[in-house]
Chains A and B, each alone.
Chain A
C-alpha cells in the first residue's frame, strides 16, 4: 500500500482529468466530486420543488381540484425527504468537497476512493425512493417524519424500498462525514492551527461529528420499522408490548441534530461572506466557534420539544422547554457577531452579500418563531399547524438554501474561472427574496388561525392566505430557472475572474489561480494568521 502511494506521489505531473463519462464515474478528485454533489443536489432541488408546486397548486383554492388526497400525501412526504436528504445535505457536502481542502491547504480529501463511493450511492438511493411513486399502492405517504404506525401497520407496500433508500442515504452521509473529519484533522497545512481555520471548516467539522452521532440512530430506527413490518417484532406496536411514542423519541433524537446539520454549514458560509463584503475581519471569531459547539451539544438534549403533545410529564415538558430556549443564547451570539462585523464596514452589496444579509434577517425570523414554538403551553396551539410549516421553511429556505446560493455566487468564479452576470444575480436574489416571503409569511397567520399542516383541502377562511402563498411559491420556483441560466452562462461565457475575485476576500482558496487547478496544494503552503481566514 505504502509503495503504491510513493510511486503515485513521485510521478505527480499535474495530469488533468480523464476524458468523457469515465472522468465522473471513477473520479477521486475532490473538485470533481464536489461538482457532482452540487449538480445532483440542484437536480433534487428541482424535483422536490416541482412536488412543492403540486402541493401549492392544489392549495391555491379550497376544495379538491387537481390531485387525490392520497397523492397529495405522497407529495408532502417526498418533497420533505428529497429537500432534506437530496438537496440541502448533498449541497453542503459538495461545498465541503470543493472548499475544505482548498481552505486548509490540503491536496485532496483524506479518503478519495470512499469519497467517490459516498457520492455514487446517492443517485441509486433517490432513484429507488422516487421509483416508489410509480408502484402499485404509491410511494411513502406518511410525512417525512414517518411516524409509526403510519409507516408500519398502515404503510403502502413500497415502504421497504423507502427503508433501504434511507439506509443508503445514511451510509453515504456517514462516509462523507468520516472523510471530512479525517481531512480536517490530518491534512491541514503547516501553520493552519485549529483556531485559525476558516469558519466554514469549523462548522463542517462539528457538523460531521453530528452526522456520525445521529445517522446511525436513523439507520437503527428504520431497521426497527423493517423488523416490525416483516419479521413480527413489536418495537412500535402496542399490541406486542411496544410503544409508538418510542418511535417519536428515537426519530427526534436523530431529527433534532439533523436540523442543525442543515444549518451549521450555513452559519459557516455566511461567516465567510459577510467579512469579505464588509471589508472587516469577522467579529468575535472565537465566540463563533464556541457558539457552534454549544449549539451542537444542546441539539442532543432538546428532541422532545417536537412532541410536547404526546402526554409527557410536566417535569419533562419544563426540561425540554428551557433547554430549547437556551439555544437562543449561542444563536444570538452568532447573529450579534454578524451584525457587528457589518457595523461601520465598507459594505458593498454583490449577490453573495445580498443573500447573506437576507439569511441573517430571515433566519432570525425563523429563530423567533422557533422560540414561540418552544413554549410548551403555547405549542399546544401551534402543534401540527401551518405555523410550524412557516417556521421550518423560514430556517431552511431563506436559511440553509439562501446560504447555499450565496456560496455558489461567491465561489463560482473560483470554481469555473468566470464571473457570473452581476445584474442577473441581483435580479435572481430579489425574485427569490420576494417569492420566499410571499410564500411563507402568510403561513404564520393561517397557522395561528388553526390551519393544520399536511391537508389537501382547508376551511374557507384560509383561502386568501393560501392563494397568496401559492403565488409566492410560483415566483420563487420559476426564479430558480434563472439561477440555472446564470450559472450555466457564467461557466460557458462569463468574463474572466481574477485570482482573488473579491477585493476583501481572505483565505487560502483565493491564493490559487482562477479557475482552481485540477490539483491544488500538492506542496503544502505556509499559513500565516492574516491569510488563514476572513
Chain B
C-alpha cells in the first residue's frame, strides 16, 4: 500500500471530500424548501393557488357549454378570534367568466390585529386552473378594534379545466399574524 508518511495526507484529502459532501447535503436540506414550493406551485400539490393572475381578456375563450360549481369555505385558525364569512357559500360559473365574490372579516377584539388568509383548493388537480385576478389573500389585513372589512375576490376558472372536474372548493384559513408582523418591524429597524 503506502508508506506511513503518505497516510495522513491521504486521510486528510478523503476527509475533506467527505466534509464537502456533508456541507452539500446540509445545503440540500435547505434547498428542499424552495424546491418544495416550486413543485407545489407547478403541480398544485396541497391545493396551492398561484399569485395574482394577469391575462389578455381578448385571448380568454369563454366555455359556455358547462357550468362549474365553486364552493367557498371560511375558517379561522385556532386562537384567531375574528369573524370571517363570505357573502355566498357557493356559485356556478362558466369557465372563462370573471366572477366577484365578497368576503368579510370583523375584528371582535379590543386591540389592533393583523390577519392573513391562506387559500387552498380541492381537488388539488384543479388548483392550477383556478386563477385569481384579485384576492385579499395577496396581502395581510390590519383591523382596528371592532372594525369590519369587505374584501372582494375576483376569479376565473380556466377553460382548460378537465371536464371531469365539476366542482371546486376554495377554502381560506385565516391566521393571526400580529406577532409575526411585529417581529418583521423589529428586523426592519436598523437598531433592532
Determine the distance from Cα of A214 to Cα of B14 in the docked complex, in whole angstroms.
Answer: 19
User: B84 contacts the other chain (Cβ, under 8 Å)?
Assistant: no
Residues of A within 8 A of B33 (CB): 224, 235, 246, 250
Residues of A within 8 A of B19 (CB): 178
- Chain B, residues 22-43, CB within 8 Å of chain A (1/0): the string is 1101101110110010001001
Enumerate A222-257 residues with CB–CB distance to B below 8 Å: 224, 232, 234-235, 238-241, 243, 245-246, 249-250, 253
Residue of A nearest to B31 (CB): A220
Given contacts A2-B5, A249-B36, contact A220 B18 (CB under 8 A): no
How many residues of B sit at the interface, in one of the four size bands?
35 or more
Q: Check B25–A5 contact: CB distance below 8 A.
A: no
Q: Check B176–A239 contact: CB distance below 8 A.
A: yes
Enumerate B42-57 residues with CB–CB distance to A below 8 Å: 43, 45-46
Q: Check B26–A219 contact: CB distance below 8 A.
A: yes
Residues of B within 8 A of A111 (CB): 11, 15
User: B92 contacts the other chain (Cβ, under 8 Å)?
Assistant: no
User: A311 contacts the other chain (Cβ, under 8 Å)?
Assistant: yes
Q: Count of A-B contacts with CB under 8 A?
A: 109
Given contacts A212-B25, A239-B116, contact A313 B43 (CB under 8 A): yes
Residue of B nearest to A177 (CB): B18
Enumerate A2-60 residues with CB–CB distance to B below 8 Å: 2, 5-6, 9
Q: Check B29–A216 contact: CB distance below 8 A.
A: yes
Q: Check A216–B22 contact: CB distance below 8 A.
A: yes
User: A67 contacts the other chain (Cβ, under 8 Å)?
Assistant: no
Residues of A within 8 A of B175 (CB): 238-239
Q: Check A217–B29 contact: CB distance below 8 A.
A: yes
User: A395 contacts the other chain (Cβ, under 8 Å)?
Assistant: no
Q: Check B22–A212 contact: CB distance below 8 A.
A: yes
How many residues of A sit at the interface, in one of the four size bands?
35 or more
Which of A181-189, A319-327, A427-435, A495-503 lies on the face that meets chain B? A181-189
A239 touches which one: B36, B118, B125 (CB < 8 A)? Answer: B118
User: B190 contacts the other chain (Cβ, under 8 Å)?
Assistant: no
Given contacts A238-B173, A239-B175, A245-B46, contact A2 B8 (CB under 8 A): yes
Q: Check A212–B26 contact: CB distance below 8 A.
A: no
Q: Check A178–B8 contact: CB distance below 8 A.
A: no
Residues of B within 8 A of A214 (CB): 25
Q: Check A311–B5 contact: CB distance below 8 A.
A: no
A181 touches which one: B1, B14, B173, B184 (CB < 8 A)? Answer: B14
Given contacts A1-B8, A239-B118, contact A220 B29 (CB under 8 A): yes
Q: Check B22–A238 contact: CB distance below 8 A.
A: no
User: B162 contacts the other chain (Cβ, under 8 Å)?
Assistant: no
User: A213 contacts the other chain (Cβ, under 8 Å)?
Assistant: yes
Q: Check B116–A213 contact: CB distance below 8 A.
A: no
Residue of B nearest to A208 (CB): B18
User: B62 contacts the other chain (Cβ, under 8 Å)?
Assistant: no
Q: Could you list 12 A-B pairs, sorted by A, with CB under 8 Å?
A: A1-B8, A110-B7, A186-B14, A212-B25, A216-B25, A216-B26, A217-B29, A232-B180, A238-B77, A239-B77, A249-B36, A313-B125
